[in-house]
């Protein structure tokens, strides 16, 4: 029997299931013992909060010094540590203690109120509610003197099954023992999926049937197919092991340029979030950087960084890629990445509000400072710098930003295609922009009206939907007709099968998380351009899209 979900990565794993420990029981509502004062109880809370903060800080430091995949967890763990030291949260807990509640109950209710606030904000902030819940559970466990819910211990390799994993849990996985992870919640852009992909873990998320799996059952986890086979036969296990061996061979092409079987080149670039990410990008054979997320310089700050600070960071990145293409995205603030000095706090639907270009045009000082820093860094390095603006809707906005960037001295200025309107206007955009980079995560979200952070609509968040592919084709056709390069830098580029389709559609480059480069490079090498075009034609017609939620026989 198979369970279906969303696969992360390309590999296959076979092994016994171990389920995550059950969550803690909700603390009793019974009032605090008469002989225990509020001050005594609050001192316990503060001590436990301090303990958890220190533990998360230690985990963050360990992540920074760990493998390249684990390093991506460091800023997430640092953010969790800050949650455990939030003064406002501590004040809320203190009110509960002053009202006669036990420390455990006051912590439970205090965290719950903050979780509700984050959930109501939607988008990225709603996703953080689960992270906050994890911190609360750790504090309560410390107060009760019991182990926090978390990773199981095992002497033998296993497949970890859970409702979902916290960032702390994902970062703490023992890579020697963890064969794969399967979760019933989460989507392709959840922290679980992102960290699993970064660490090269076989994973299937949003697999509803995973709740029925039991510790000890043998399963096959096939990330390429997004499936979990329960109690497989000997033949199925043999086939899975053969598929795993084939997937492991992908790294043999590392270092070679991305190309189809007939020699048609398709440059494979890396998505990076900070200058240090140049290391894994180069290790996995990236031919440059297709997306540098400049947000790392701004997030967590009360004020925007200076031109000097930004310039130094861009120089650090660009100097690692002499002669190679590096695409830097302008600040993409708003929606799931709010900034106190830039983002309105009262937007009813931030994903449709002021983000990207819309936000920066209202804060020209921030936009000009970033452009000045990019120009300065470009003058001091030898990389081939391309700069693009997110959240552009049509040729008017594209022309505005291109003219602004060129007036500053930038050589290659382009835009991101995330809003469906830009696909309809692609023929005009291609006449004013130097290039277009398609962000498939947002393009899919907006095309299908499905929040990319919401597990309940995770099965809509797929670039295999023919509507998304047709939008990509409109942009690629316009680019090829006008000599304008069109790349893809969303998660779709990391799907080896979809990468072949994108090549056939006419995309000129692909950019992805570094760990996906091996699999994509190997899959492209199996097809000629004619075969890729044939596969693209089928995909555009919906041949590979199976919306099981509308299967009448399964209703």
pLDDT tens-digit readout, 276-323 = 889 989 999 999 999 999 998 988 788 999 999 999 999 999 999 999
Strand partners, 16: 218
Instruction: Say if domain 2-21+151-246 classifies as CATH 3.40.50.740.
Output: no
Q: Which burial class, exposed, middle or buried, applies to 510 when counting CB atoms under 10 A from its CB (0-12, 13-18, 19+)?
A: buried
Separate counts of helices (H) and strands (E) for the chain: 21, 16
Q: Do 2-21+151-246 and 261-543 fold alike per CATH?
A: no
Antiparallel, parallel or unpaired: β 268-272 and 509-512: parallel
Range 86-90 contact pairs with CB under 8 angstroms and sequence separation of 24 or more = 86/114, 89/114, 90/45, 90/46, 90/49
Please report the DSSP string for 76-116 in residue order.
HHHHHHHHTT-HHHHHHHHHHHHTT--HHHHHHHHHHHHHH
The residue from 133, 191, 363, 396 that is catalytic is: 191
* Nearest partner of 107 among 116, 118, 96, judged by Cα: 96
Tokens at 338, concatenated: 């709010």
Judge whether 424 and 396 are in contact, CB under 8 Å. Answer: no
Judge whether 357 and 335 are in contact, CB under 8 Å. Answer: no
In the prediction, which pLDDT does 453 show? 67
pLDDT tens for each residue of 345-401:
777 777 788 889 999 999 999 999 999 999 999 999 999 999 999 999 999 999 999
Distance CA 506, CA 508 (A): 6
Cα four-point dihedral sign 452, 457, 462, 466 = negative
- Cβ neighbours of residue 322 under 8 Å, at least 6 residues apart? 381, 382, 383
Concerning whether 489 is annotated as a catalytic residue, the answer is yes
In the prediction, which pLDDT does 549 show? 63
The residue from 133, 396, 465, 489 that is catalytic is: 489
Antiparallel, parallel or unpaired: β 12-19 and 158-162: parallel
The strand order across the sheet containing 2-4 reads 2-4, 227-230, 218-222, 12-19, 158-162, 178-183, 202-205, 6-8
DSSP 10: S
Q: What is the dihedral of CA 331, 189, 499, 356, to 10 degrees?
A: -20
Q: What angle do CA 527, 531, 533 make, to 5 degrees?
A: 120
In the prediction, which pLDDT does 461 show? 83
- pTM, 2 dp: 0.68
Judge whether 18 and 160 are in contact, CB under 8 Å. Answer: yes
Residue 224 CB neighbour total at 10 angstroms: 18
Judge whether 90 and 185 are in contact, CB under 8 Å. Answer: no
The list of the chain residues with pLDDT below 50 reads 555
Q: How many CA atoms lie within 13 A of 249 on its CB side?
A: 9
In the prediction, which pLDDT does 89 show? 86
Distance CA 201, CA 190 (A): 14
Judge whether 180 and 162 are in contact, CB under 8 Å. Answer: no
Class of domain 261-543: alpha beta
What are the residue boundaries of the structural domains of the chain, listed by start?
A: 2-21+151-246, 38-144, 261-543
Query: CATH number of 38-144: 3.40.190.10, 3.30.360.10, 1.10.3720.10, 1.10.274.10?
Result: 1.10.274.10
Judge whether 284 and 518 are in contact, CB under 8 Å. Answer: yes
Judge whether 270 and 293 are in contact, CB under 8 Å. Answer: no
């Amino acid at each position: 029997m198979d369970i279906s979900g969303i696969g992360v990565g390309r590999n296959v794993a076979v092994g016994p299931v171990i389920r995550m420990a059950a969550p803690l029981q909700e603390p009793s509502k019974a009032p605090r013992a008469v002989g225990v004062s509020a001050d005594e109880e609050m001192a316990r809370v503060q001590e436990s909060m301090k303990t958890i903060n220190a533990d998360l800080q230690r985990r963050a430091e360990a992540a920074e010094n760990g493998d390249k995949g684990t390093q991506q967890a460091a800023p997430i763990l640092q953010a969790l540590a800050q949650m455990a030291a939030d003064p406002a949260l501590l004040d809320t807990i203190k009110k509960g203690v002053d009202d006669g509640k036990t420390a455990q109950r006051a912590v439970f209710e205090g965290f719950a109120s903050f979780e509700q606030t984050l959930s109501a904000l939607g988008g990225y902030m709603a996703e953080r509610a689960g992270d906050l819940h994890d911190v609360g559970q750790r504090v309560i466990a410390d107060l009760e003197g019991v182990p926090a819910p978390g990773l199981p211990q095992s002497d033998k390799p296993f497949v970890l099954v859970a409702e979902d994993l916290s960032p702390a849990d994902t970062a703490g996985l023992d890579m020697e023992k963890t064969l794969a992870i399967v979760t019933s919640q989460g989507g392709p852009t959840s922290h679980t999926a992102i960290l699993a992909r970064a660490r090269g873990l076989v994973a299937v998320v949003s697999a509803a049937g995973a709740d029925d799996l039991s510790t000890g059952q043998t399963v096959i986890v096939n990330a390429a197919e997004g499936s979990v086979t329960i109690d497989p036969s000997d033949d199925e296990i043999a086939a899975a092991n053969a598929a795993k061996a084939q997937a492991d061979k992908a790294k043999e092409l590392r270092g070679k340029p991305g190309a189809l079987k007939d020699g048609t080149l398709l440059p494979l670039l890396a998505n990076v979030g900070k200058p240090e990410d140049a290391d894994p990008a180069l290790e996995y054979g990236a031919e440059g950087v297709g997306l540098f997320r400049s947000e790392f310089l701004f997030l967590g700050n009360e004020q925007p960084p200076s031109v000097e600070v930004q310039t130094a960071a861009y120089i650090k990145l660009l100097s690692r890629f002499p002669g190679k293409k590096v695409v830097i995205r302008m600040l993409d603030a708003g929606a799931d990445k709010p900034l106190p000095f830039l983002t309105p706090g009262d937007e009813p639907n931030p994903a449709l509000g002021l983000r990207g270009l819309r936000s920066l045009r209202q804060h020209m000082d921030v936009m000009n400072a970033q452009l000045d820093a990019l120009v300065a860094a470009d003058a001091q390095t030898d990389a081939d710098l391309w700069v693009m603006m997110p959240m552009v809707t049509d040729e008017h906005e594209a022309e505005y930003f291109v003219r602004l960037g060129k007036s500053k001295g930038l050589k290659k200025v382009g835009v991101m295609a995330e809003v469906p309107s830009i696909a309809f206007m692609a023929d005009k955009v291609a006449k004013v922009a130097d290039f277009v980079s398609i962000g498939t995560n947002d393009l899919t979200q907006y095309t299908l009206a499905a929040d990319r952070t919401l597990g309940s609509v995770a099965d809509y968040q797929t670039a295999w939907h023919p509507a998304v592919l047709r939008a990509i084709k409109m942009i690629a056709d316009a680019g090829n007709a006008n000599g304008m390069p069109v790349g893809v830098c969303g998660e779709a580029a990391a799907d080896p099968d979809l990468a072949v389709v994108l090549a056939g559609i006419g995309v000129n480059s692909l950019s992805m998380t570094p760990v996906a480069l091996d699999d994509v490079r190997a899959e492209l090498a199996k097809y000629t351009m004619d075969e890729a075009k044939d596969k693209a034609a089928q995909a555009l017609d919906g041949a590979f899209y199976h919306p099981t939620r509308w299967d009448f026989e399964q209703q």
